[in-house]
Structure 1
């Protein structure tokens, strides 16, 4: 009875597999948005200002970072929580696959969130005072900065916790 229950618990990891399929669908949606934005900006390339070109680049970089984040979550999450990806000796397999544990995934996740937040904040600062742009209220700008700082501090605290855990594991001979 206990063994059957434990097998059921172990098999329950497959319940999150459809969630990774959903993330793959979101990745596809992001590709569509990226292509749509690229198609919007390309015809304007000969007439756009440097500031507009930078804002366009930042928007595309933002989408790319978010897509990279999704890919890391899909690959690492699946391998850490569901099953190993048995792809053989595929030369296209990224070097980090199979090496990112939960702690590494957590750090990549917060680093990506901080980068995305920083790019969004930079875009908002660049839009300040631009003709035709919606003015940001001081309060909204303060909230954007506060949220970004919270992300940065959270990342630093997570990194510090991982460092302390790794250090305590070395002192005690491994935890």
Structure 2
């Protein structure tokens, strides 16, 4: 019976590798975002002399938005892989290894995730307000409501984290 239990536990533990292709899919998503980023830079460059200032600012905010999403994906891919699949021991002494690698736990990952979502939502809200004439009041209200929800959620996550940390 103990042998069956041990085999089952090894099967469960090995199942963590099922998420590895998901991280590879996120890398592919980053490539797609890189193409979108390049398209946006090309569009901004081509219209820099003829586009109004607000359009340039909205374009730049879109670039910042893509950069934030890509940064978030890097954090999710690397910390998720290290937390849930396997340690990257071969990269431990690599000069370019980020300091946070190997130190971000699931709780830290949640806080970084919600922080990034708040930042992305804030940029989208700013873009909307810069183009306020094209949107209905209802649409703006929904965007503002969602942003406030993200901010409050982030604060609640941080408070729960602090309470949990204090309890330990």
Using the size of structure 1 for normalisation, the TM-score is 0.91
Please show how residues 1-175 of structure 1 align to structure 2 within 5 Å. 1-86=4-89, 87-129=91-133, 135-169=134-168
Q: Deviations over 1:27-58 (max 9, x none)?
A: 11000000011011102122333222211110
- Where does the alignment leave 5 or more consecutive residues of structure 1 unmatched? 130-134, 170-175
1:95 shift after superposition:
1.1
- Where does the alignment leave 5 or more consecutive residues of structure 2 unmatched? none
Q: Deviations over 1:85-114 (max 9, x none)?
A: 121411011111111110110000000000
Corresponding residue of 1:173: none
Q: Deviations over 1:4-46 (max 9, x none)?
A: 1111111010011010011010011000000011011102122
Further displaced range: 118-127 or 86-95: 86-95
- Please give the root-mean-square deviation of Cα atoms over the aligned residues, in Å: 0.9
2-side partners of 1:116 and 1:16: how far apart? Answer: 26
Tell me which stretches of 4 or more aligned residues in structure 1 moved more than 2 Å: 46-50
Give the structure with the larger helix fraction.
Answer: 2
1:154 shift after superposition:
0.4
